[in-house]
Amino acid sequence: MSKIKIGDIVKDLEKLALVQEKLNQAEGRESKGYRQAYPPASEFAIRALEKKLKFRFPPSYRAFLNIHNGWKGFHNDVAVFGVSGIGYTRPVADFNQYLKMLQKGPKTADESADALRKKEQVDEKTIYLPDHVPLATDFNGIYWVFDRNRKRKDGEYPIAEVLYGQNVEFRTKNFLEFVKRAIAQAQNELESEKKSHKGEEKRQEKMVEQRKRKFDGKMFVFAGTLAGMNKKDALDYVKEAGGIVSNTLDKKTSYLVFGNGKKDGKRVIAAKKLGVRVLAEQQFYDLLFKVRKKK
């Protein structure tokens, strides 16, 4: 059985942090928001917790604590516990409280500690809760626990995924493998985000092209003041959609847009005589909305 190298843990944690930083940037998140690794835990704090739990942490997890005293957003919604009160250490107490509740509850033939121990020997999907030390949790009530009954020669413990202490969904050989799994998931998220971003860029490019073609060759004349939009913005929108803006009303004009002017004003009457389509302000917005909606 090969011994885990602490350097491997350090490198993988650095790799995970780098991938998550890229993922933060791709998602537009701040680094110390959704995902955050905390500063190192002190050796005193680590030993104090080991004494309290009566459990010697495996070397790989100790190496983690020497670098990060907890990690929020370790992968997906999973938070790895630290030893102090910062971050997501509170679920440890919650989990232990849950264990006490089970132990104090009514004991039936199927729920007794002895029955659970016997069942564990024949069914790998059932575990005896007090023999497991939680190291991480997520928002769905899933816990990742060290199985202290299966200590390896190198001092490592396998990690089991359990739902409120019920069923083992999977086991990893050790904390290093747990970290590698987090890296793989973060990389998959990053690749998906990149593909999504490229797809969005293409969609935006297509939107611009469609807008440009929609008003291609159409001439607009504006009369009066628009109540709901700055006139300059309105002109820019028309130009963006490939339209032409003019101050001269003639047979080449496609639309006359009148704002606060009268419906029977001189320019409106002149436009109708020329066969130019007259648009009230809201009609212009409706036409513009349809153009910009087709993206």
Please say whether the beta carbons of 211 and 241 come within 8 A. yes
Six-digit token string for 87: 């971050």
* Position 122 confidence tier, pLDDT thresholds 50, 70, 90: very low
Q: What's the confidence (pLDDT) of residue 274?
A: 92
pLDDT, tens only, 61-119: 998 998 888 888 787 778 888 886 433 334 445 555 555 554 444 444 444 555 544 54
Q: Write the pLDDT tens digit of every residue in 20-71.
A: 788 777 776 654 445 677 888 889 888 888 888 788 899 999 989 988 888 8
pLDDT above 60 for 230: yes
Question: What pLDDT score was predicted for residue 18?
Answer: 84
Comparing CA positions, the residue from 187, 191, 193, 182 lying closest to residue 71 is: 182
pLDDT at 125: 40
Report pLDDT for 120. 44
Q: What domains can you pick out in the chain, each with its CATH number?
A: 6-194 (3.40.1580.10), 215-293 (3.40.50.10190)
Alpha-carbon gap, residue 82 to 69, rounded angstroms: 4
Strand partners, 159: 146, 172
Report if pTM > 0.85: no
The whole-angstrom separation of Cα 257 and Cα 284 is: 7
Average pLDDT over residues 266-291: 86
User: What is residue 250's predicted lDDT score, i.e. its pLDDT?
Assistant: 92
Q: Among 57-61, 143-147, 253-257, which stretch is predicted with the lowest mean pLDDT?
A: 143-147
Give CA–CA dist 110/108, Å, rounded.
Answer: 5
> H/E element holding 196?
helix 175-214
Cα(63)–Cα(7) distance, integer angstroms? 9
Spatial separation of the C-alpha atoms in residues 22 and 24, rounded to whole Å = 5
Quote the percentage of the chain above a pLDDT of 90.
8
d(CA 170, CA 168): 6
Candidates 137, 161, 159, 163; CA nearest to 148 is 159
Quote the pLDDT of residue 213: 66
pLDDT at res. 170:
66
pLDDT of 277: 92
Confidence (pLDDT) at 109: 44
Confidence at residue 124, expressed as pLDDT on a 0 to 100 scale: 40
Q: Is the pLDDT of residue 294 over 50?
A: no
Summarised one tens digit per residue, pLDDT across range 197-224 is 676 666 666 666 665 567 888 999 998 8
The pLDDT value recorded for residue 265 is 78
- Cβ neighbours of residue 54 under 8 Å, at least 6 residues apart? none
